[in-house]
Amino acid sequence: MERGKVIPTEEWVERGKKGDSQAFTELYHRYAKELYNSIFRIVQHTGEAEDLLQESFVIAFQQINQFEQRSSFGAWIKRIAINKAISSLRKKKIRFEELALDPSLQDDEAIDEAGFELKVEAVKKAINALPEGYRTV
């Protein structure tokens, strides 16, 4: 290999398919930061994002022979990482419990709709203030 020559990602992928550990290292260094940022935006937790990043690379490297270059390697591994992050959120899904209705409340009470629209806007504003991963859910 010539010194200073930039090897295209496709060549590193082909080397990875042959089991070249240097190829795996190179692919990791090329994509780790971008993938970490994408995962972190979803899960909003440093440690979890790091774990999911590693798991994503393990899956990608184990399945690299299935990569057919219909898209870029970056897009393929990003899809793996995003799916891992979303699956992680689903596993943490909040369970809601039904609460007993307070008997002191009556169904025929009048609802003050004057401030209702202001409350909706406040809720929308609060949702928009959430980190992106939580807004996604």
- Tokens 């080397």 appear where? 15
User: What tens digit of pLDDT does each residue of 14-52 get?
Assistant: 999 999 999 999 999 999 999 999 999 999 899 999 999
Q: Please tell me the predicted confidence (pLDDT) of residue 6.
A: 85
Sites in the chain below the pLDDT cut of 50: none
pLDDT of residue 112: 61
Closest CA relative to residue 24, chosen from 57, 53, 47, 2? 57
Neighbours of 71 (CB within 10 A): 11
* Closest of 29, 71, 36, 42 to residue 55, by C-alpha: 36
What predicted TM-score, i.e. pTM, was given to this entire model? Answer: 0.65
Query: 40, exposed or middle or buried, with CB in 10 Å at 0-12, 13-18, 19+?
Result: buried
Alpha helices in the chain (DSSP H): 9-17, 21-43, 46-62, 73-91, 116-129, 132-136
> What is the model's pLDDT at position 127?
77
